[in-house]
Structures are given as structure tokens and as C-alpha cells.
Amino acid sequence: MGQAPCRCGAAAWFARNTAQSKNFGFSPARFPLNAPFMLTDKDNLLRRLHALRSEHRDLDTVIARLTEHGPVDQLQIQRLKKRKLGLKDEIARLESRLIPDRTA
């Protein structure tokens, strides 16, 4: 038979989140990448930015752990990397909203 899957750290996080959804635990309805957020309050923007950065970091860990443990499902890795890039874009948009415009 095969080796039992490791349920520690990133592997456990990945297993929990992939079991919940085909989107690897990330609900597009809850965090759509292309939706214009109407958050104007700086505290709300900072909270959202913190959550996105945390999710981005978690994805980075999951991708690294999955690629170092034997056979890799390339489609799964590709989807995770695509989600990570989407998060990076959204983080950049939120950061630009937090920086005040300078008029010359």
C-alpha cells in the first residue's frame, strides 16, 4: 500500500481546506478577487490587508510543502499559485488605496 499522508503543519492545513471546497478552502463569494471593495475605513482596509497577507503566506507554505513531498499534482500546484498571484494583486490594490494621492 502507500505511505500514510502527513497531517502536520501545511499538509494538515491543505487537507482541511481542500476537503471543504474545490477552491482549496477559499470561498470566491467571500473574497472575490475582482470585486471592487467599498471599504473606506482605514481600519477595515488594514484588517483586510492583514488577512490577505496571512492567506498569501499560508499558500506559500502549502506550495513549498507540497512540492517537497514526493509526487506532485501539477494542476493542484498551478491552481494554488494562481490564487496566490490573485492575492498579491489584491494586496497591491489595497496598499495603493492606503497611500494618499499626492497632487503636484
pLDDT the model gives residue 16: 58
Does 54 fall in a domain?
yes
pLDDT the model gives residue 43: 86
Does 57 fall in a domain?
yes
pLDDT the model gives residue 60: 94
Number of domains in the chain: 1
pLDDT the model gives residue 61: 94
Domain of residue 88, residue span: 9-14+40-98
pLDDT tens readout for residues 14-73: 655 554 444 444 444 455 555 555 545 888 889 999 999 999 999 999 999 999 887 888
Does 27 fall in a domain?
no
Does 78 fall in a domain?
yes
How far is the C-alpha of 74 from the C-alpha of 55, rounded, in Å? 21
- Give every CB contact of residue 47 below 8 A, 6+ residues apart in sequence: none
